[in-house]
Amino acid sequence: MTAFIIRRLLWTIPVMLLVILLTFLLMRQIAGNPFRRTARAVPVEIQQNLERKFHLDQPWYVQYALYVKGVFTLDLGPSLTLRDRSVNDIIKEHFPKSLELGLLAFIWAIAVGIPMGVIAALRQNTFWDYSLMFVSNVGYAVPSFLIATLLIYYVSLKANLLPTNGWDGGWQYKVLPAFALGLAPMAYFARLVRGSMLETLQQDYIRTAKAKGLRWRRVVAVHALRNSMIPAVTAMAPTLGYIITGTFVIEIIFSIPGIGRYFVTAVSSRDYSVVMGITVLTSFVIVLANLVVDILYGILDPRTRDART
């Protein structure tokens, strides 16, 4: 197992290099000038100073090499638009907020989604099944910006129960964004677990377990649940990676100073170094999340263990 983890961690290096290269090249393919923010053209002298300062006057491979060197010395460079901050500062300030929001949303999505799926499967084609799957369908289909806007309107504005936006200042600020962000993953997990649970319940070993007189609760909890978790666990890695690295829509609507909001504004303002920095961070988190999932596989399904050591 240790060897497996080390090997996987080493693999992240070429993966990251490729991600950096692709983002680097793609970002420079789209037209635009990071130093021009309004209709006003940037005077030549000013443009030259800025390009010199940020090494944009160098050939692309030099810029790429400088950047890679920066990444491996944990210095992601300065922001091109927020000039008094470095990308490290930006990540340090904003990533924890996205992480917290993502984890809260993820936890509730799992805590509700998985039991929902299990119940729906156990009560297949009953009122419970239909109503839970209805909730799940709605949760999955309705876009989060709509949910968020409706929540702000009814819960904050009409009922005056929670603040309309913001993040720092107490749990009241976190309820609505976490709920809105977790709704779709919750619905997704519920459907996934229901499907795999139904399939697992058809398996011979479940019938055997029942036949040898095990209590039903034990059959479900030990035999069926564990095996039907595998697809959900597979889906968790990208979901987790995605939601903790910042979600633009929720962060914008609730004015949360997270990393997702930054990412999108950085792309539209052509803040190359911020885009690169956040991409590096995101891909690192996703690579890591995938690793965790692979380890979980081993725990859930012993058969996959040997193949991976």
Partner 1 sequence: MLSRKRWLPAVLLALFAGLVVVGCGGSDNGGGGGNASDNQVLKWGLGSEFQLDPGLATDTTSAKLVLNIFDPLVKLDDKLNAAPSMAESWDVNGAKVVYHLKSDSKWTDGTPVTAKDYEYSWKRALSPELASDYAYQLFGIKGATEYNSCKSNCAALKDKVGVKATNDTTLEVTLTSPQPWFVQQSAHSVFLPVPQKAVEKFGAKWTRPENIVTNGPFKVEAAQPSASITLVKDPDWRDADSVKLERVEGKIIVDGTTAVQSFEAGEVDVLDEQLPPAETPRLKDTPEYQLYPGLGTTYYGFNVKDNIKDVNQRRAMSLAVDRQSIIDNITQANEKPADAFTPVGMPGREDIVTTASPWTPAHGDLAKAKEYMAKATNAKKNITIYSNESPPNKEVAEALQSMWKQIGITSSIKILEWQQFLEFLGPPPPKSVDIYRLGWVGDFVDDINFLELWTCDSGNNNTGFCDKGYDANVAKAKNTPDNTARYKVYDQLEQTLTGQDGVLPIIPLWYITYPNLERESVKDTFNINLLDQVDLTKVEIKG
Closest distance between partner 1 and the C-beta of residue 168, in Å?
7
Pick from 224, 192, 221, 230: nearest CA to 205: 224
Q: If DSSP codes are grouped into helix, strand and coil, which group holds residue 132? A: helix
The half-sphere exposure of 192 on its side-chain side, counting CA atoms within 13 A, is 22
CB 293: neighbour CB atoms within 10 A? 18
Closest distance between partner 1 and the C-beta of residue 242, in Å?
21
Q: If DSSP codes are grouped into helix, strand and coil, which group holds residue 195? A: helix
Identify which of residues 7 and 53 has a Cβ nearer to partner 1 in the complex: 53
Pick from 2, 180, 36, 217: nearest CA to 102: 180
Closest distance between partner 1 and the C-beta of residue 289, in Å?
25
Identify which of residues 12 and 156 has a Cβ nearer to partner 1 in the complex: 156
Contact 193, 228 (CB under 8 A): yes
Closest distance between partner 1 and the C-beta of residue 172, in Å?
5
Identify which of residues 85 and 226 has a Cβ nearer to partner 1 in the complex: 85
Q: Is 38 exposed, middle or buried (0-12, 13-18, 19+ CB in 10 A)?
A: exposed
Closest distance between partner 1 and the C-beta of residue 38, in Å?
7
Contact 121, 201 (CB under 8 A): yes
